[in-house]
Copies of this chain bind each other. A is one copy, B any other.
Amino acid sequence: MHIGILGTGDVARTLGTALRAKGHDVWLGSRAPDHPKATAWAVDGGGTDTFAEVAGRSELLLNCTSGLHSLTALELAGRDALAGKILVDVANPLDFSNGFPPTLSVCNDDSLGERIQRTHPELRVVKALNTVANALMVDPDRIAGPKSLPICGNDAEAKARVAGWLGEWFGWTDIVDLGDITNARGMEAWLLLWTRLYGALGTGDFHMAIVR
């Protein structure tokens, strides 16, 4: 599959490397076509280009930009390049301007996932993977025991396809569909607890399991 990843940070490159290893044609998108981290990453395969070029050539998009800049990245990508495509929204609207733990730039009565879907009705937004550290996104079973992955979005077929891919590519099995994209409020609010668990445990190497 032609997969476009918006962003060049740790999450983008971790997902990109894992998907490239599965045989996909993966490109990383950024503001400039020659972003140093993306260029270095693409030496081993795939490619890198602007948000617009990467979005235009891809069948599936993953939003791995910083949540504070996601709407800008999508605006730069342009509606024509996004139209009709599934966007897996991995981002969190974390604001570190007052240090750690961060606050959320939007929460409680709105969410980044909703803002993206409202601003880009031409996209089929599926919120997923934002609840777990990047090393666990692509290899959940590196920690034994139960683990759960919430997911939400307005488009049932897009959610079903994403859930299938997350199982097929990475081995996720307990994917909990919360419903429409407004449920991103809950998935993003988890970061207010996740960051504090990270602080207390001294690692992001933990899963949330919904045991029932």
A interface vs B, CB < 8 Å? 101, 103-104, 107-109, 143, 145-147, 150, 176-179, 183, 185-187, 189-190, 192-197, 199-201, 203, 205-212
B201 lies within 8 A of A193 (CB):
no
Copies in the complex: 2
Question: What is the minimal beta-carbon distance from A182 to any residue of chain B, in angstroms?
Answer: 9
On whether the beta carbons of B211 and A145 are closer than 8 Å, the reply is: yes
Instruction: Write out the residue numbers on chain B whose beta carbons fall within 8 Å of the beta carbon of A109.
Output: 103
Q: Is the CB of B178 within 8 A of A196?
A: yes
Given contacts A209-B146, A211-B207, contact A108 B196 (CB under 8 A): no
Task: Tell me the complex Cα distance, A206–B178, Å.
Answer: 14
A177 CB contacts on chain B under 8 angstroms: 200
Bound CA–CA A199/B210 (angstroms):
14
Q: List 23 A-B contacts (CB under 8 A).
A: A103-B109, A104-B108, A107-B107, A107-B192, A108-B108, A108-B192, A143-B212, A145-B209, A150-B196, A176-B197, A177-B200, A183-B196, A186-B193, A186-B196, A189-B190, A190-B190, A190-B193, A206-B210, A206-B211, A206-B212, A207-B209, A207-B211, A209-B210
